[in-house]
Each structure stands twice: as structure tokens, then as C-alpha cells.
Structure 1
Amino acid sequence: MAAGHLISIVDDDPSMRDALAGLIRSLGHEVRVFASAEAFLASDELGRFSCAITDIQMPGMNGIELKRQLSQRHETVPVIMITARAEPDLEEKAMLSGAACFLRKPIEAATLVGCLEKALRT
């Protein structure tokens, strides 16, 4: 996989943002972190991201609504959605919104890397 993609991480949990950022940087990618979907959508670099990794449950706009906003703006960045929640229909909602991958916490690093590689190929 070619290195050097710009990946965004959108999560209201600072420790999760840091852990994900460290993993993605270890793969040779650039990372930008955002504490909210609103901050991500306001980024000057929005059009440069190769992939967005977002938590689903966040204060304000959730990850599924974030994907809908991106689609409305004709942004084609693939979105990997992560959640700690267990609702049975959450994965279906995420995938219907256009998520590239859906992962439940705790996340295995290898699973996330596989999802990221798949998303970057699209």
C-alpha cells in the first residue's frame, strides 16, 4: 500500500484519537485529529483526506450524520465508522449511510488496518 495518505480521525475521546493517530502514523500516513464532526467538516483540508475514521456516538453530530453531510457536499472520502454501542441495527444504519467499514470497540489493530487498506483502494 502506498504511504503518504492524509487520514482524519474524528472522535470526542482524546485517548481514542491518540491511539488511532499513533497506529495510522505507524503505517506511514499523515493524520489530522478532530474532537467533533463539526470541526472536521470545517477543516480547510476537507478535500485532501483519503479516508476518515469516525466514532459514531459523539456529542453534537454523530458519525452517521457526518457521512450524510459529506455525501450532500459531494465529498467522496471513504468513512470508517467505529462504535462501542451494541444496538443491533447500528451496523446496518452505518453501512446504509455509505460507511466503508463498521467496527465495534475494542478494535483489533489488524482489523482496522485491513479496513483502511480496503478504503484507500476505493
Structure 2
Amino acid sequence: MVFHVIEDDPAVADALVVMLREFGHEAAAYPDAESFLATGMPLSADTVVVDLLLPGMSGADLVRELHNGGSTARIIIITGQAQTRLEQQISGLGVRHLIRKPVEADALRDLI
């Protein structure tokens, strides 16, 4: 199982990768959805940790692309957005896992 972290803030991406590796998981970071998708679809055992506000393709559009491509990887959304804006963006995505920024190690560990 690999954790794919799609986050444009290098400090946040690095912190998430370090946390996941400390939990004993393989993790890789991507600065945008396009560079992640260029590696191919994630495996069904993988987890995609995606920020909603990304440059280029948004995190919500990435989730739609994964679903449309038949991916069954688990998806965890991370965001610092207000609740009303968040609800608009994830409506209809079927996202079950959400973590608010700043991401705390315990919140991440509880989801994995």
C-alpha cells in the first residue's frame, strides 16, 4: 500500500509524508493533480491524500477523475476551507474521509 499525497504547499506535503513514513507506510508527494495522474492510476490498496485547493486541476476534479477512471483507492481529503465552501466542493464526490488543516498526526493515524 502506498500513500499518494497531492498537496501544493511543500511544507504540508513534507510533513504528511514524514508522518506517514513514521507510521510505517510508503508515501510519495506530488505538487499538483497533473503530476500525480502522470504516474498512472493508484492501485486499489493505495490511499490518495488530496488537498482540495490545488493549482491547475482542483482536488475535487482529481477525485472525479479517479472515480471516472475506475479507481477504487481510498481517498482522504485535506482542507483548510470554511464548512460552506467545503460542502459545495465535495457535494456528490462520495468522500468519506476528511481532515482539517493543520493536519494533526492523531487525526491522520485514526484514518489509516
When normalised by structure 2's length, the TM-score is: 0.88
Q: 1:80 — aligned with what? A: 76
Return structure 1 stretches of 4+ with deviation > 4 angstroms: none
| Inter-partner Cα distance in structure 2 for 1:108 and 1:46 | 25
**Structure 1 gap segments, 5+ residues each:** 118-122
Q: 1:64 — aligned with what? A: 60
1:6-25 map, 5 Å: 6-25=2-21
CA RMSD of aligned residues (A): 1.8
Q: Greater shift after overlay, 86-95 or 105-114?
A: 86-95
**Structure 2 gap segments, 5+ residues each:** none
Percentage of identical aligned residues: 33
1:87 deviation in Å? 4.3
When normalised by structure 1's length, the TM-score is: 0.82
Say whether the 8 Å CA contact 2:5–2:17 is kept in structure 1: yes
Say whether the 8 Å CA contact 2:44–2:71 is kept in structure 1: no
Number of matched pairs: 112
